[in-house]
Amino acid sequence: MTKTLIARQEAAAAPLPPGRASALLLAHGSMNLRWYAPKGTDPQTPHDQDEIYIVASGTGTFVRGDERVNFGPNDALFVAAGEVHRFEDFSADFATWVVFYGPKGGERA
């Protein structure tokens, strides 16, 4: 599944697969592009690939391990494979692009 352009409106309308909290928009090699827009709380657990979030809308606090940072639209956030992380106190319009990439276990630093 490869496309050149995925518009925000298309991403927001993409259906969630059963048992998944994000919609798959694009897959190429080890890379997956997903759309994540949790409501109320963020129940995610650590992932087995490195990931980058690019905030599309909303504000809140991002927690990665012991680190806490405020985020807003157009901010980019990195999480290494296996790291505990979540979004907290986010606004009702929060949505983010998520790029998973690399081998299981993450890339070497």
Number of domains in the chain: 1
Within a domain: residue 2?
no
Within a domain: residue 3?
no
- pTM of this structure: 0.93
From the CB of residue 10, how many other CB atoms can be counted at a distance below 10 Å?
Answer: 13
Q: Is the pLDDT of residue 1 over 80?
A: no
Determine the distance from the C-alpha atom of residue 90 to the mean position of all C-alpha atoms in its chain, rounded to a whole number: 14
Q: How high is the pLDDT of residue 63? A: 98
Which residues form the domain of 60?
21-101
Within a domain: residue 40?
yes
**Is 74 within 8 Å of 54 (Cβ atoms)?**
yes
Within a domain: residue 6?
no
* CA proximity to 36, closest of 7, 56, 64: 56
Q: Which residues contact 31 (CB under 8 A, 6 or more apart)?
A: 99, 100, 101
CATH number of 84's domain: 2.60.120.10
Average pLDDT over residues 86-104: 97
Q: Which tens digit of pLDDT belongs to each residue from 17-34?
A: 998 999 999 999 999 999
Which of 16-20, 86-90, 104-108 is predicted most confidently?
86-90
88 pLDDT band, cuts 50/70/90, is very high
Q: How high is the pLDDT of residue 109? A: 67
